[in-house]
Amino acid sequence: MRKILAAAAVAMAFLGQAQAATVTGPTDVTAGVSYAYTYNPDPTAILAGYDLYAMNLTVSDSFDPGNVQVFSFFGSVLPSPRNFLFNWVFPATGTGVLTVTGVLETYFGATLGTDEGGFTFVIKPEGTPFIVSNIEPASLTVNSTPVVPIGGTLPLLLTAFGLAGWVARRRAREPLAA
């Protein structure tokens, strides 16, 4: 009996891991540069017959815990594969963790609207049924290196070499004093 329970526990652990959301993208990055990441909440508990979905991703990194951004995706059909793309910039160097938490809302009988600022929102008439599914956080360990400021220092370096060459040429033209 113990062997059967142990095997069932191992199988449940593997099944539980397979149902977790994933975030993928570059793990060796340069601080201050934007990188694209993919969030996949598969499999998600979606009831058949929904008219509209809204996927809200809350993204943060351990480099700057105060830097939290929300990315929203709307549509009538979930993408297949269920990949949601977002860009992220790491502010510091070292090893850190990018964390993404997803909240999936499915609506029955709702529509999308746009406000004056161009922001999309869900128009949900009174009594419209909807379901909110919280998805477990997904994490990715990232190694961030410092930015090499060649773009800003190169003109300064060329100017210094130019001035040194101009001074050397001018000194070569002057007659030697006895």
Rank 3-7, 14-18, 154-158 by mean pLDDT and report only the highest: 154-158
Residues 142-162 pLDDT 10s: 999 987 666 667 787 888 888
Strand duo 22-24 + 28-30: pairing: unpaired
> What tens digit of pLDDT does each residue of 28-67 get?
999 999 999 999 987 665 666 788 888 999 999 999 988 9
Distance, in Å, from the CA atom of 63 to the CA atom of 143, rounded to the nearest integer, reads 11
**Looking at residue 11, what is its pLDDT?**
39
Residue 47 has what DSSP assignment?
A: -
Q: Which residue has the tokens 């300064």?
A: 156
The secondary structure element, H or E, covering residue 129 is: none
| Domain spans, the chain | 19-147
3 state DSSP class of 143: strand
Question: What stretch of H or E contains 68?
Answer: strand 64-75
CATH 3.40.190.10 given to domain 19-147: no
Burial class (CB in 10 A: 0-12, 13-18, 19+), 72: middle
Residue whose pair of structure tokens reads 């090893």 in the numeric block: 95
| Cβ-count burial 21-49 (b if 16+ within 10 Å, e if not) | bebebeeebeeeeebebebbbeebeeeee
Please, which residues have CB within 8 angstroms of residue 76's CB and are 6 or more apart in sequence? 51, 52, 53
User: What one-character DSSP code corresponds to residue 32?
Assistant: T
* pLDDT range class, residue 14, cuts 50, 70, 90: very low
User: How is residue 155 annotated by DSSP?
Assistant: H
3-state SS class at 90: coil
Residue 23 contacts residue 139 (beta carbons within 8 Å) = yes
Whether the full predicted model's pTM is greater than 0.75, yes or no, is: no
CA–CA separation, 86 and 78 (whole Å): 16
